[in-house]
Amino acid sequence: MSETQEMTFSDVAEHNSKKDLFIVVHDKVYDATAFVDEHPGGEEVLLDVGGQDATEAFEDVGHSDEARQILEGMEKAKLKRVPGDPEPHADPSSTSKADSPGTSPSGGGGADSSLGLAFYALVLLGGGLAFGAYKYLQAKSASESK
């Protein structure tokens, strides 16, 4: 890739077919045309974000380091933002989970894992109560039929 090559969103939007597919991830333009048939998630995943900013979709999946290396090899240009373009997505290298609210640097999980744990406990409690009610009604029914 040429260091000075830049493309705008309107340039990228023209490349949205299986035979000519560009995507934007973290303000870099990638030519994914050769990778469409090889993508482990299927071609539809790439075609759905073709010619667009795919940062959120790429990060939501949690791609491996190997996938990120493959992506680097497809880099075509830097994205040149112009007024009216969609807002950029957060760069994961600039914000870590430890910096985000509700998480602790020690890996304790913070508010998000507390909510998950509370939900899990609630489900277990509900299951226990339902089982207890079932056993109670079963015993009551057995005693009435004697």
The three-state (H, E, C) secondary structure of the chain, written as one string? CCCCCEECHHHHHCCEECCEEEEEECCEEEECHHHHHHCCCCHHHHHHHCCCECHHHHHHHCCCHHHHHHHHHCEEEEECCCCCCCCCCCCCCCCCHHHCCCCCCCCCCHHHHHHHHHHHHHHHHHHHHHHHHHHHHHHHHHHHCC
pLDDT at 104 exceeding the cut of 50:
no
- pLDDT (tens digit per residue) in 2-13: 456 999 888 988
| Residue 80 confidence class, pLDDT cut points 50, 70, 90 | confident
- pLDDT (tens digit per residue) in 47-56: 999 988 988 8
- Average pLDDT of span 85-108: 50
- pLDDT (tens digit per residue) in 30-44: 999 999 888 988 888
- Average pLDDT of span 115-135: 89
